[in-house]
Chains A and B, each alone.
Chain A
Amino acid sequence: MTRSLSGRPARADHPTVPSSVPHVGEGSGAPKGESPGAAVGQDRAVPPTTSQLTATGLAARLRAVLVAARPGWRGRALYALASLPLGVLYLGLYLGLIGSVVALVYGVGVLLILLVLAVTRGLAGMERRLARRLLGVDVPEGERVRDQRGVVRKLRRLVLAPDTWRALGWLGARLLFGVATSAAVLFGAALFVVLGWDTEWNPLNALPLLAFMVLDVVLTLAVVDLLVRLSASVAPRLLGTAPEQRIAALQQSTRRLADRNRLARDLHDTIGHALTASLLQATAARRTLTPADDRPLQPDFARQALGHIETNTRTALAELDRVLTVLRAEDGGRDPVPFAAPSLDDLEDLLAGLRDGGLPVELVVDGDVDDVPAGAQELAYRVVQEGTTNVLRHAGTPLTVAQVARSGDTLVVRVCNEPVAQQDGRPGPGGGRGLAGLRERATAAGGTLTAERTPSGGFDLCVTLPLSGAA
């Protein structure tokens, strides 16, 4: 006795379960018949033997069973058992939905419907976990309404997402499965009682009757098991994500990645570059102020370098500001698919920053530019940004005009400045690095870029873009 007990310590948890029953169920690789029966027997057998019949004890016990449950016959048995109370719950939900539709007529049903739909989504989440845990079915997580930003968006997704309606369908299916399961169990139990108690037993019919009773139990359990397996095959279709949703999610993440890359490239080209140039200028300035051996001090170079550093840092900060605005918009949920590219609307901000920096610059917009494609808007922004930065860098703070004009299918962007008051710095032919890049982009968009000195001694940067081809 002691030997057999110690030989199977695991069984000590369920002392009342006839050791032969779970053995059959386990050993035969969970055949349809016996397996759920074992669990049912086990559940029924628990209360009388446990000395603590308290509700908490029972709850703890149930929880332990749930936690221990793995996909397998135990899981399926629990799933079948759960479908009875859940079926009732879902029936209530359906009645609630019908009730709220009726209430809609009286104008108070909207909130009720939303509530019912929210509960439906929540229950679908629970069902997903149940199916995963007890049936071992791989149900992909759908989109979560809770993760959406903003109440309006949440509500819109709640009502419009196909997930909601498929979830509702699933709960209906579960309701039907529950009904079928109860019907099977009730019918099986009734037959069992009729055979066992309403029949005259005598030595002649005892054996066949007993056989019929066993057959009844086996058949009932087989039907229940079949229903559970049916649920398992339907669950992923109604609870999982639809292919088109997955594709959309993939596309969105690809787009985000592209946006990120573009943002990274922008940062590299603007802030990274400005900081590098500033660093070298600062290093050089320090060298000229503390020259080695017998070299002369070069305060002029140092003064000029400080001016360049000032300009570079200012434009870098403006760019940083823009990037951070984009990132914050992304985090704050104001724009679900943030486009990192700046638009014509951002020009005023850009120029305001430059005015703070001492550059007297005016923005002139002619024609209807609202429906200019985003790509062209960004390029136009870059033209103004590069042009004004170059003015600051090479000419100081002369009077400057930025102009965006549309006529028909052509967009002209122009930055020109008055002659430089005092000749400081050396105006590089062709301007900074950005100008070459701009020319490439303008050409790629089918446009042209000209950058030249004006007869009066100022500078004129002009980009012409065709709008039909640009996007």
Chain B
Amino acid sequence: MTALRLLLVDDDVLVRSGLRVILESEPDLTVVGDAGTGREALAVAADTDPDVVLMDVRMPDMDGIAATAELVARDPQRPRVLVLTTFEDDDYLFRSLQAGASGFALKRSDLDSLVDAIRVVARGTSLVLPDLTRRLIASHAPSRARGAAALPELTGREADVLRLVAGGLSNAEIATELYLSRETVKTHVSSVLLKLGARDRTQAVIAAYESGFMTG
């Protein structure tokens, strides 16, 4: 198994050096670079080609939200962005998800959940902090229309899958729920993402809420 390549972006050198030591002590993670500003992050990301960027939100010289949007615009598939935040500031978090971040984690969360979040973001088979994320999206997404009509035609199965994805279930859980194989679920999820033009599950959930496919 090749180690996940991480890029740390935070304007505080202490946060970066702490995170570096912590994450490097995991066998399957390797920190390939760090940056103190959003602009610096873009340059380092281009050089190091990380799998996951751990992105602070508030930074001088391009904040994390703008940097995330720029990274996504360059390449929708790589790298994934995990937003790191000191406090749960709803507004910032939602805006960073909207900008294309795959999930968020608190800087104060314990090591295991932080490492979990990084792996989940890299694999893309589930949402990070599913309950929190869903609640955040549900309460912030401006719901335009009601009913599934606003979404491009999903098959009945795909609609079921999207509903469960938005409910925070992982592929394995969806497979159990719908009596399908994991491979089949994976195929359905991929085609849902394709039809919605979403780069990952988080973006699909945002689209589901914004279209009115999911409510509340």
A291 at the interface (CB under 8 A from B): yes
Closest to B61 in A: A436
Known contacts A272-B86, A292-B25, A430-B36; is A280 also within 8 Å of B14 by CB?
A: yes
Contact string against B for A residues 261-296, beta-carbon threshold 8 Å, 1 for contact and 0 otherwise: 000000010001100110111011101100111010
Which of the four size classes fits the interface of chain B? Answer: 20 to 34
Judge whether B12 and A273 touch: CB under 8 Å: yes
Judge whether B15 and A280 touch: CB under 8 Å: yes
Closest to A301 in B: B21
Closest to A278 in B: B14
Contact string against A for B residues 149-188, beta-carbon threshold 8 Å, 1 for contact and 0 otherwise: 0000000000000000000000000000000000000000
| Majority SS at the chain A contact face | helix
A433 at the interface (CB under 8 A from B): yes
Complex contacts, A305 vs chain B, CB 8 Å: 18
Judge whether A428 and B87 touch: CB under 8 Å: no
Judge whether A436 and B108 touch: CB under 8 Å: no
- The total of chain A residues at the interface (CB under 8 A) is 32
Known contacts A430-B36, A436-B61; is A276 also within 8 Å of B15 by CB?
A: yes
For residue B45, give the distance in angstroms from its CB to the closest CB of chain A.
20
Judge whether B11 and A436 touch: CB under 8 Å: yes
Complex contacts, B14 vs chain A, CB 8 Å: 277, 280-281, 308, 312, 393
A288 to B17: give the CA distance in the assembly, Å.
12
User: Counting chain B CB atoms within 10 Å of each CB, which of A279, A308, A393, A433 scores highest?
Assistant: A433
Judge whether B107 and A279 touch: CB under 8 Å: yes
A425 to B129: give the CA distance in the assembly, Å.
35
Judge whether B86 and A268 touch: CB under 8 Å: yes
Judge whether A284 and B18 touch: CB under 8 Å: yes
Complex contacts, B12 vs chain A, CB 8 Å: 273, 277, 432-433
Judge whether A288 and B21 touch: CB under 8 Å: yes
Known contacts A268-B87, A277-B18, A280-B18; is A440 also within 8 Å of B60 by CB?
A: yes
B216 at the interface (CB under 8 A from A): no
Complex contacts, B20 vs chain A, CB 8 Å: 284
Judge whether A272 and B22 touch: CB under 8 Å: no
A426 at the interface (CB under 8 A from B): yes
Chain A positions near chain B (C-beta within 8 angstroms): 268, 272-273, 276-277, 279-281, 283-285, 287-288, 291-293, 295, 298, 301, 305, 308, 312, 393, 426, 428, 430, 432-433, 436-437, 439-440
**15 A–B pairs (Cβ distance < 8 Å), ordered by A:** A268-B86, A268-B87, A272-B87, A276-B15, A276-B108, A277-B12, A279-B18, A279-B108, A280-B22, A281-B17, A283-B22, A285-B21, A430-B36, A433-B12, A436-B59
